[in-house]
């Protein structure tokens, strides 16, 4: 038996007045997910354990069966592993966003979804000024900062403070003094940088500085194949997910044209998934777009992103006869533009049927599979 999980990041939401009291998942035309609900069964999943932030890292680790209480050391180290950065003992890796701050307010946690090449140019200019840390450019605004012999520090994810004054959310404790110096240097180096001058001329948001957060040492996971007795693979455009997969010893399948943003190549993801599952037992197909639309607070874009996820579900349904599950990792409600910790709906085809007819938050709440803890999800699927 083979297994595919399609993960629509941040796909769950709340009923919205502008959608006539329906959620984006209810409003979107999702014939394929609905077909799964009709021929399969639904339930709800608790993906965020108590005491953890509602992050994609926490949620996706949980869904893959790695209890965050045991294995989570931060988002930074997961992304470092994904980028092939060998973290030594004593290294603390921070996720390091390029951000837009204006008048002391966090305007954009992504610096206008700056391109990878612009980000990498800014990072090489900044590297020369702060040789005491290691900077590594990643995809778009998602970069990395490594402190050698670091002690960690507390800071807030920048996507949680959009529109707020940053002064109350700066890094505290441990490496904070060093991080603040690096942030100050970034503001100096980026002001008037040719990359930003060109962005401003093009009417785009400049990257005014860096924002390090969620640092930690390299985690150590039991390997997926030993844990479940199955060869697993991951398709995702997001470093974080690939980092989790690499820590778990899963195969990482990269898909050309997968951007991790709204314009990602959905058909290519479906094709690569179908190809990969021929030699794997399990595939995790992660699609970031609904989450990005949620962070933007853009209802229409979120509905479109969900419909595109549904088209991938359709491609898989037509060409795959194993067990298929579809779910979000957490809600990213339009109303709050950030992640929440509410349980998420899931639908499974190939593990019995119930009376659900549509895949939605509401109907899944009444599904026969009940509410499960995410860390048990794959064991349930494989049972
Ligand atoms: Zn997520």
Q: What is the CATH number of the domain that holds 294?
A: 3.40.720.10
- Measured distance CA(356)–CA(26) in Å, rounded: 13
DSSP 142: E
Residue 119 and residue 56 in one domain: no
Residue 245 and residue 365 in one domain: yes
Distance from the CA of 291 to the center of ligand 1, in angstroms? Answer: 6
Of 198, 216, 234, which marks where a domain is finished?
A: 216
Distance from the CA of 21 to the center of ligand 1, in angstroms? Answer: 24
Residue 90 and residue 123 in one domain: yes
Element (H, E) at 129: helix 116-129
Say if residues 339 and 54 touch (Cβ distance below 8 Å). Answer: yes
Number of domains in the chain: 2
Q: For tokens 């796909």, name the residue.
A: 11
Pairing label, strands 41-46, 344-349: antiparallel
Distance from the CA of 131 to the center of ligand 1, in angstroms? Answer: 33
Residue 189 and residue 274 in one domain: no
Distance from the CA of 13 to the center of ligand 1, in angstroms? Answer: 12
Give CA 331 to chain center in angstroms: 12
Residue 225 and residue 210 in one domain: no
Phi, psi of 232 (to 5 degrees): -110, 150
Residue 86 and residue 208 in one domain: yes
Distance from the CA of 329 to the center of ligand 1, in angstroms? Answer: 5
Report DSSP letters for 272-286, one per residue: HHHHHTTT-SEEEEE
Q: How far is CA 28 from CA 66, 114, 263, 300, in A?
A: 32, 29, 18, 9
pLDDT tens digit sequence for 336-347: 999 999 999 999
Distance from the CA of 136 to the center of ligand 1, in angstroms? Answer: 23
Residue 179 and residue 297 in one domain: no
Element (H, E) at 364: helix 361-364
Residue 371 and residue 236 in one domain: yes
pLDDT tens digit sequence for 194-217: 999 999 999 999 999 999 999 999
Of 216, 237, 265, which marks where a domain is finished?
A: 216
Residue 203 and residue 224 in one domain: no
Residue 169 and residue 257 in one domain: no
CB-based burial, 70-101: b 16+ in 10 Å, e otherwise? ebbbbbbbbbbbbbebebeeebbbbbbbbbbb
Of 182, 216, 250, which marks where a domain is finished?
A: 216
Domain with 167, as residue range(s), is: 81-216
Residue 173 and residue 102 in one domain: yes
Distance from the CA of 125 to the center of ligand 1, in angstroms? Answer: 31
Long-range contacts of 304-308 (CB under 8 A, 24+ apart): 304/28, 304/262, 305/8, 305/11, 305/262, 306/8, 306/11, 306/24, 306/25, 306/28, 306/30, 307/28, 307/29, 307/30, 308/266
- Measured distance CA(89)–CA(85) in Å, rounded: 13
Residue 56 and residue 185 in one domain: no
pLDDT tens digit sequence for 94-148: 999 999 999 999 999 999 999 999 999 999 999 999 999 999 998 889 899 999 9
Distance from the CA of 185 to the center of ligand 1, in angstroms? Answer: 31
Q: How much is the pTM? A: 0.84
Say if residues 283 and 276 touch (Cβ distance below 8 Å). Answer: yes
Average of per-residue pLDDT values in the chain:
95
Say if residues 250 and 232 touch (Cβ distance below 8 Å). Answer: yes
278, burial (CB in 10 Å: exposed 0-12, middle 13-18, buried 19+) = exposed
Tens-level pLDDT at each residue, the chain (383 residues)? 999 999 999 999 999 999 999 999 999 999 999 999 999 999 999 999 999 989 999 999 999 999 999 999 999 999 899 888 989 999 999 999 999 999 999 999 999 999 999 999 999 999 999 999 999 998 889 899 999 999 999 989 998 899 999 999 999 999 999 999 999 999 999 999 999 999 999 999 999 999 999 999 999 999 999 999 999 999 998 888 999 999 999 999 999 876 666 667 888 999 999 999 999 999 999 999 999 999 999 999 999 999 999 999 999 999 999 999 999 999 999 999 999 999 999 999 999 999 999 999 999 999 999 999 999 999 999 99
CB proximity list for 307: less than 8 A, separation 6 or greater? 28, 29, 30
Distance from the CA of 287 to the center of ligand 1, in angstroms? Answer: 9
């Amino acid at each position: 038996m083979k297994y595919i999980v399609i993960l629509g990041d941040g796909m769950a939401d709340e009923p919205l007045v502008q959608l006539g009291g329906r959620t984006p998942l209810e409003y979107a035309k999702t014939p394929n997910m609905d077909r799964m609900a009709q021929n399969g069964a639904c339930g709800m999943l608790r993906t965020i354990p108590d005491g953890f932030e509602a992050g994609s890292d926490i949620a996706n680790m949980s869904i893959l069966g790695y209890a965050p209480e045991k294995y989570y050391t931060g988002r930074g180290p997961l992304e470092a592993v994904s980028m092939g950065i060998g973290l030594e003992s004593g290294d603390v890796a921070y996720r390091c966003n390029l951000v837009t701050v204006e008048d002391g307010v966090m305007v954009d946690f992504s610096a206008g979804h700056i391109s990878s090449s612009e980000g990498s140019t800014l990072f090489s200019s900044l590297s020369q000024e702060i040789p005491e840390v290691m900077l590594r450019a990643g995809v778009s605004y998602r970069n990395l900062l490594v402190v050698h012999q670091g002690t960690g520090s507390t800071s807030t994810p920048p996507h949680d403070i959009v529109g707020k004054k940053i002064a109350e959310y700066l890094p505290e404790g441990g490496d904070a003094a060093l991080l603040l110096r690096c942030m100050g240097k970034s503001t100096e180096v980026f002001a008037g940088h040719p990359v930003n001058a060109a962005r401003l001329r093009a009417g785009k948001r400049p990257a005014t500085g860096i924002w390090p957060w969620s640092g930690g040492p390299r985690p150590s996971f039991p390997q997926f194949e030993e844990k479940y007795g199955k060869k697993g693979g991951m398709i995702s455009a997001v470093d974080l997910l690939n980092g989790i997969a690499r820590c778990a010893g899963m195969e990482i399948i990269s898909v050309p044209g997968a951007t991790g943003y709204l314009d990602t190549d959905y058909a290519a993801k479906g094709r690569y998934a179908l190809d990969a599952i021929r030699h794997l037992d399990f595939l995790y197909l992660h699609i970031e777009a609904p989450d990005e639309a949620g962070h933007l607070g853009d209802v229409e874009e979120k509905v479109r992103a969900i419909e595109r996820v549904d088209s991938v579900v359709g491609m898989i349904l037509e060409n795959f006869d194993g067990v298929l599950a579809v779910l979000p990792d957490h809600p990213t409600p339009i109303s709050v533009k950030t992640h929440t910790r509410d349980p998420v709906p899931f639908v499974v085809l190939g593990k019995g049927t119930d009376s659900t007819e549509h895949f939605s938050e509401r109907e899944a709440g009444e599904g026969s599979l009940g509410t499960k803890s995410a860390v048990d999800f794959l064991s349930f699927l494989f049972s």
